[in-house]
């Protein structure tokens, strides 16, 4: 029981380490902790503007509209100028399927558009990967679940959802690009910034996980180094490493929180007219902040308080306030470790 206090930073570091490791490995394979995404792009309605535009133009939609009809191309907004033929055929072909449900256009098309365009309904960003798949039972169902199809490494360019979508759209039945669907430079800029931030978050997360793991090791080592002549070295090492780990945890958590909130807000704002939306993962934020909170309070806090008490007590009495040695063992007279001496300690 006497060594109980040292259990505090050990357990806190262990809990924090497990949490950051889970956050780091979420999405490492399809379906693994899919709910712990940083944010998810909902692409189920991407391209809905094409249909709205067309339906606004013809009160009587005609399912057999010729794909290359010049008059349709003339009516379409200018950004559709060049690939009008294929875009129009995409829209016309979709339109024929939803002809009975024009009033409910946004809900009805959401479930079919992605499939018709050859893309997935969602793309979820995780720390190290980006996963894609379909909503189930369907995209418009309340509380729709996710059925993940595949995940790919994000660090080698995979975070760029635009290039992923472009590849899939080009390979799809209508051979179009995001730009044809009305992707603006501004929105592309937001996505590019998000790529950069996500890379930074990934690297910070890897370093943070390593530091929290190291902090766990050094607090475990402290059991063996104390009571003993290396008590001071153990204390200082733990203080330094736990300070670094705490700082990185804090920076990472703040970065994740602020950056994703800004990105989601902008994507939803600028993406609305082309049918792109995004949603932030709350569980991911929760475990990141839980790891940070537990570590700050009970690991960094422990070593900070011990160091403070030791300095304060050491100056007056040779052992910390309260008459107990900081590690919870027997009273110890503060030795002359600063000068390399050994002899004056009692254990
Ligand atoms: C995806 O977006 C569509 C269109 O904006 C929306 O109707 C649907 O509820 C969203 N689905 C999910 C699961 O967020
Ligand atoms: C989507 O799923 C919900 C719940 O299962 C269902 O009520 C709704 O009709 C479905 N929507 C479409 C467009 O299939
Ligand atoms: C998920 O998708 C796969 C392939 O599309 C399908 O076979 C499977 O039944 C789906 N799972 C659920 C739970 O809907
Ligand atoms: C992401 O992909 C888009 C489309 O392929 C491209 O225009 C953009 O430059 C890429 N951004 C980055 C940061 O690579």
- Structure confidence at residue 84 (pLDDT): 54
Of all protein residues, the one whose alpha carbon is nearest to atom 14 of ligand 2 is: 138
Give pTM, 2 decimals.
0.79
Q: Encode pLDDT of 184-204 as tens digits.
A: 999 999 999 999 999 999 999
Please give the DSSP secondary-structure letter assigned to residue 154.
Answer: S
- Structure confidence at residue 110 (pLDDT): 56
Is pLDDT larger for residue 90 or for residue 261? 261
As a whole number, the mean pLDDT across the chain is 79
Q: Encode pLDDT of 108-162 as tens digits.
A: 555 677 887 889 999 999 999 999 999 998 888 888 999 999 999 998 888 999 9
Task: Specify the ligand 3 atom closest to the Cα of 137.
Answer: 14
Is pLDDT larger for residue 115 or for residue 37? 37
- Could you give the percent of the chain with pLDDT greater than 70? 70
Contacts 24+ apart (CB under 8 A), 132-140: 132/164, 133/30, 135/44, 138/110, 138/111, 139/42, 139/44, 139/45, 139/110, 139/111, 139/114, 140/44, 140/107, 140/110, 140/111
The Å distance, Cα 194 to ligand 4 centre, comes to 11
- d(Cα 160, Cα 143) in Å, to the nearest integer? 26
- Structure confidence at residue 242 (pLDDT): 96
Q: How confident is the model at residue 19 (pLDDT cuts 50, 70, 90)?
A: very high
Considering only 29-43, 215-229, 251-265, 305-319, which range has the smallest mean pLDDT? 305-319
- Structure confidence at residue 46 (pLDDT): 87
- Structure confidence at residue 320 (pLDDT): 46
Q: How confident is the model at residue 9 (pLDDT cuts 50, 70, 90)?
A: very high
- List residues near ligand 4 (CB under 6 A): 160, 162-163, 166, 188, 192, 195
Q: Encode pLDDT of 67-101 as tens digits.
A: 444 444 444 444 444 455 566 666 666 666 554 44
Of all protein residues, the one whose alpha carbon is nearest to atom 6 of ligand 4 is: 163
At 159 the three-state DSSP class reads coil
Question: Is the predicted pLDDT of residue 294 greater than 80, yes or no?
Answer: yes
**Which listed ligand is nearest to 136 at the C-alpha?**
3
The Å distance, Cα 256 to ligand 4 centre, comes to 22
Q: How many Cβ atoms from other residues are within 10 Å of residue 247's Cβ?
A: 14
Radius of gyration of the chain (CA): 29
């Amino acid at each position: 029981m006497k060594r109980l206090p040292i259990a505090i930073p050990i357990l806190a570091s262990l809990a924090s380490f497990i949490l950051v490791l889970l956050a780091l490995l979420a999405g490492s394979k399809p379906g693994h902790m899919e709910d712990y995404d940083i944010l998810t792009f909902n692409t189920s309605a991407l391209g809905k503007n094409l249909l709205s535009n067309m339906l606004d133009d013809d009160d009587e939609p005609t399912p057999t509209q010729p794909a290359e009809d010049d008059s349709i191309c003339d009516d379409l907004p200018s950004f559709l100028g060049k690939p009008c033929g294929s875009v129009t055929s995409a829209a016309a072909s979709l339109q024929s399927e939803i002809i009975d449900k024009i009033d409910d256009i946004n809900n009805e098309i959401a479930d079919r558009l992605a499939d018709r365009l050859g893309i997935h309904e969602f793309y979820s960003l995780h720390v190290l990967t980006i996963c894609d798949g379909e909503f189930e039972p369907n995209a418009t169902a309340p509380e729709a679940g996710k059925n993940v199809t595949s995940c790919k490494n994000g660090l080698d360019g995979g975070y760029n959802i635009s290039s992923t979508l472009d590849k899939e759209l080009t390979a799809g039945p209508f051979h179009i690009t995001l730009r044809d669907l009305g992707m603006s430079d501004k929105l592309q800029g937001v996505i590019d910034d998000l790529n950069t931030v996500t890379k930074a978050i990934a690297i910070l997360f890897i370093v943070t996980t390593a530091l929290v793991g190291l902090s766990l090791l050094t607090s475990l080592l402290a059991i063996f180094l104390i009571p003993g002549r290396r008590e001071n070295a153990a204390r200082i090492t733990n203080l330094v490493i736990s300070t670094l780990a705490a700082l990185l945890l804090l920076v990472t958590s703040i970065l994740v929180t602020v950056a994703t909130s800004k990105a989601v807000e902008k994507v939803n704002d600028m993406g609305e007219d082309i049918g792109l939306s995004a949603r932030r993962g709350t569980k991911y934020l929760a475990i990141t902040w839980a790891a940070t909170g537990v570590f700050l309070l009970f690991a960094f806090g422990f070593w900070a308080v011990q160091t403070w008490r030791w300095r304060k007590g050491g100056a007056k009495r040779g052992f910390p306030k309260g008459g107990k040695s900081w590690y919870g063992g027997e009273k110890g007279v503060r030795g002359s470790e600063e000068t390399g001496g050994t002899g004056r300690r009692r254990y």
